[in-house]
Structure 1
Amino acid sequence: MQKLTLIAIAGPTASGKSTLASRLAKALGKRKAAIISQDNYYKDYSYLSLKQRKQINFDRFSAFDIALLCRHLARLKKGKPIDMPLYDFIQSKRLKKTKKVIPSPYVIVEGLMPFFSRCLGQLFDYKIYILAPHWLCLSRRITRDIKKRGETISSVCKRYFEDVLPMQRRYVQPQQSLADIVVDGVRAFDKRLVAALLKNARASHKI
């Protein structure tokens, strides 16, 4: 069985994690890479009313179902497929349907805090942290959440300053010291950067 390599991408909200993950996967090849978003592993809060769900601080570490994500990544490393949960961000709850993820030579996990916990951190072969200024992250988040998550400028800014920033300092930023490499989120994730990241990953971990 071919060795499966797990690559993690961590960083602040809207720092470019999904974009970098997509470009790494494209460079590796569609059949050689799979992407898992940590956002799909929020706990299932469907038992609460929509109003109650909207009050949840989704930037806390405890908001994620870390145990399930650990089990799924361990299963993939054993060469077994998983049924990845899917999350509805407008309704703030887990969907009933799932997505089948087949073990690929490379699995890229992107999210706020994929290697904050020891359980997850020890599973990854290569860890990337994206560093981006607050103004850029807030600007990107406003654009994203209005288009895709039914939010308003007011609601995004309120959540950003009340929930996102405090939790970012507590859970997200500490991962920078655990990363194998830190990437500047302001610069474009061009082909040269992607190629350099893959080269470093292969050199450091013999992948």
Structure 2
Amino acid sequence: MDTIVIGIAGGTGSGKTTLADKLVESFGLDEVCILRHDNYYKRHDDMPFEERKKLNYDHPDAFDNELLRKHIEDLKAGISVEMPIYDYKEHNRSNQIVKIKPAPVIVLEGILIFDEPSICGLMDIKVFVDTDADVRILRRIVRDVKERGRTLESVIEQYLTTVKPMHEQFVEPSKRRADIIIPNGGENIVALEMLIERVKKQLKKHNI
């Protein structure tokens, strides 16, 4: 199946998810599908809840990149996949799945998708969403406290002990692999429109 794979990366709270969602919304349901890297956190059924809470979820080793790569390759081959669903409150992969059907445009969204060469190499367009650190941490606090039921203290502690150092070690350097760097994510309407036009030109160029 002829496809275009678009990778959208960036730090936590950068706006990459908003950008990815708006990009998906700009195409028809049969034209695009989306995979989210967060759903590919490794399963830890053998580990107690209190131990799962202590894991470093901002390190590349936290992800099942082998499964993600296989799903991308299957979609490119015209095969539907079952994307896992991650439960943030349980700090573990749930037993639910979402069936993803093949589409001409595959959007892959996640913090560390550019860090893994085998996944990065499957992308046709690599977009990095670049947003100031103070904005990102504020967005993360609001999201984790309101949507994921975490305490303010736990969010700040996690940010200082894992999120910030992992961003500096892995996420920020991966920006060098991007084809396009967009400030402020989905709020950058001009950049979003330019990206949409770029994708449409690619589709037309390859008669997809």
TM-score where L is the length of structure 2: 0.93
What is residue 87 of structure 2 aligned with on the other side?
88
Give the superposed CA RMSD.
1.6
Pick one of 183, 193, 196 that aligns with 1:195: 193
- Quote the Cα distance in structure 1 between the aligned partners of 2:138 and 2:30: 34
Deviations 1:80-136 (CA, angstroms, capped at 9, x unpaired) = 010101100000111112110000111111001112111001101100001111110
What is residue 40 of structure 1 aligned with on the other side?
39
Length, aligned pairs only: 205
Q: Give the superposition deviation at 1:202.
A: 4.9
Describe the SS at the equivalent of 2:136.
helix
The one-letter code of the counterpart of 2:193 is: A
What is residue 144 of structure 2 aligned with on the other side?
145
What is residue 29 of structure 1 aligned with on the other side?
28
- Quote the Cα distance in structure 2 between the aligned partners of 1:125 and 1:57: 30
Deviations 1:47-104 (CA, angstroms, capped at 9, x unpaired) = 1111000000100000000111011101111110101011000001111121100001
Q: Give the superposition deviation at 1:201.
A: 4.0
Note closer, same or farther for the CA distance 1:37–1:183 as it changes in structure 2 (3 Å cut).
Answer: same
Q: Give the superposition deviation at 1:204.
A: 6.6
- Quote the Cα distance in structure 2 between the aligned partners of 1:56 and 1:90: 14
Identity %: 34
Q: Give the superposition deviation at 1:189.
A: 3.0
Structure 1 portions without partners, runs of 5+: none
Structure 2 portions without partners, runs of 5+: none
What is residue 168 of structure 1 aligned with on the other side?
167
**Conserved? CA contact 1:27–1:194, under 8 Å:** no
Matched ranges for 1:55-74 at <5 A: 55-74=54-73
Q: Give the superposition deviation at 1:30.
A: 2.5
The one-letter code of the counterpart of 1:45 is: H
1:4 aligns with 2:6: no
Q: Give the superposition deviation at 1:155.
A: 0.7
Q: Give the superposition deviation at 1:149.
A: 1.3
**Conserved? CA contact 1:130–1:182, under 8 Å:** yes
Note closer, same or farther for the CA distance 1:203–1:180 as it changes in structure 2 (3 Å cut).
Answer: farther
